[in-house]
Every structure is written in structure tokens, then in C-alpha cells.
Chains A and B, each alone.
Chain A
């Protein structure tokens, strides 16, 4: 049988890949958004695994809402991205450093 621990470690790995993806990537911002999605999927896996092993649906319900939030977030994220593109003509991460210090 697959233990709970296996699922959790899997999601931990995915979670970390998501995190790493955010900060190692200097290409474009859209990848950042995708990494955020990855993080959320990892968390969702966590919740589902717990829910399954606890025999308690609350976790799954939570995932349901996380998916909703994620969708909304993507909508806004892409909107901002579009605005950025309109303003700077690029979505390169490096262009967004006029605010610093």
C-alpha cells in the first residue's frame, strides 16, 4: 500500500519545485504564474491525501475552494501580466525592477 507519507513527500517535492521555479527563472513572468499553480496543486495533493487517510471530506472541500481561488487568481494574474506587457512591451522579469532599495 502507498503510505500517507509517500503522498506527502511527493507533494513536498512538487511544492519545492514550484518554489524553486519562481526564483530561478529569469525569463518571463508567465512561468511564475505557472509555478504558483504548481504550488497550489502540491498543496491540494496534501489536502486530498489527508482527507483520504483521515476519512474526512473537509480536505477535499478545501481543495475545491483552492481550485476556485486559483482560477480567479490566474485571471487576475494574467490581467496584470497583460497590463505589464502593454506598459513595458515585455514580460521579462528583469524589466520589473524600477522599484527597489
Chain B
């Protein structure tokens, strides 16, 4: 077993284990943390595949931003406590069987016969001066300039969407009105009312 393989299996194990832990987690916040672990494992595997730039991006963008966003929402909505017990679908066994069969079938297709080393040889390692980021950048700004623009549009949509959906406009936003606060008088706050006791009247 080569070192590559050892690394691969270790990371794979963590990857799969933390993914499973994530989906079976009862606590949303914990699930996010498991997911982060998954992403780290994934990034490691990507590095094995010599995609350093993407691996870093995954960590920085995903773990650094997206996952934090998740956590932020979870904490903001306070939903990690509200669901104390995880509930799983009644057909969980069936679901797992389905998943298992799908995995089996996919494995059959993707197995050694099709993608083994004897079929697809492992490429030679890149030279030490190979810069993954440069290669990607070159392509991104030339060949893929059109998708790049589209990605910009996508992000624009994300911005618009987030603002449109979540931003509270003047009508439904809770805000202070200083002048009203200043002008408030005692009678606005407390009103003295005399109450006749109903018991007396009845007697």
C-alpha cells in the first residue's frame, strides 16, 4: 500500500464517517460541524488529486463563509434546541436499502473494469513548479470568460434574492421613534381606572 493509498483511505474514512454523522445528527449545529469535517476531508482528497486551489477554496469559502452562515442562521433562529430529538422517516430501513443498492450499482459501473488503473492510468505527478492556480486562472479569464460572467450574474441574483426575501422594509421593520419616545407622557403609559367590585353589587 502506497502512502497515497493510505492517505486516501484515511481521508475517505473521515469523509464518509463525518458525512454519515452529519445526516444522522440530532442537533443541527453539530451537523454543521460534522459537515465541516467532511469538507476538510474532501479538501484533503482534492489535494491528493492535485487540485490545490479548489481545496483551499473549499476550506476558505465553504468552511469559512458558507458554513459559518449556516451556523449563524441556526443560532439566529435558535433551532438547534428546538428540535431535541431527531426523527427519522418510517421507511428508514427501506431508504437505506435503496441507497445501498444504488451504491452497489454505481460501484459496479464505476468499478475497476471501467476505471481501474489498468484502464485509466494514473497521470504522472506535475512538476514542482506547476501552479494549479495559474493554470486555472489562465483558463478562467480566457476560455471560460463567458461562464465567469454568468457566475457574476448568479451572485447578483443571490444578493438580490437575499435582500428581497429577508430584508424587512420600513413597514415591517421594528425601529425606534425618538420623538415619540421623548414626547411620551405619563397618561400614555398608565391609566387609572376605578373598578366596581361585582361581588358587592350582587349582594
Contact = CB atoms under 8 A, between A and B. Distances in A.
In the complex, is A directly touching B at CB under 8 Å? yes
A76 B83 contact: no
Interface string A78-92: 111111010000111
Contacts of A52: 49-51, 123
B120 interface: yes
Contact of A35 (B23, B46, B140): B23
A68 B48 contact: no
Interface of B is mostly: helix
Contact of B106 (A9, A44, A45): A9
A17 B158 contact: no
Interface in B77-114: 77, 79, 82-83, 86-89, 92, 95-96, 99, 102-103, 106-107, 110-112, 114
Contact of B123 (A13, A55, A57, A64): A55
Interface residues of B, number: 81
A91 B23 contact: no
A36 to B, nearest CB: 11
A48 B39 CA distance: 14
Contacts of B20: 17
A25 B92 CA distance: 9
Contact of A6 (B8, B35, B155): B8
Contacts of A60: 51, 53-54, 132, 136
Interface of A is mostly: helix
Q: Which among B50, B54, B92 has the highest number of chain A CB atoms within 10 Å?
A: B54
Given A17-B23, A20-B23, A51-B51, A64 B136 contact: yes
Contact of B155 (A33, A34, A72): A72
Interface of A: 1-10, 12-21, 23-28, 30-31, 33-35, 37-38, 41, 44-45, 48-49, 51-53, 55, 57-58, 60-61, 63-65, 67-76, 78-83, 85, 90-92
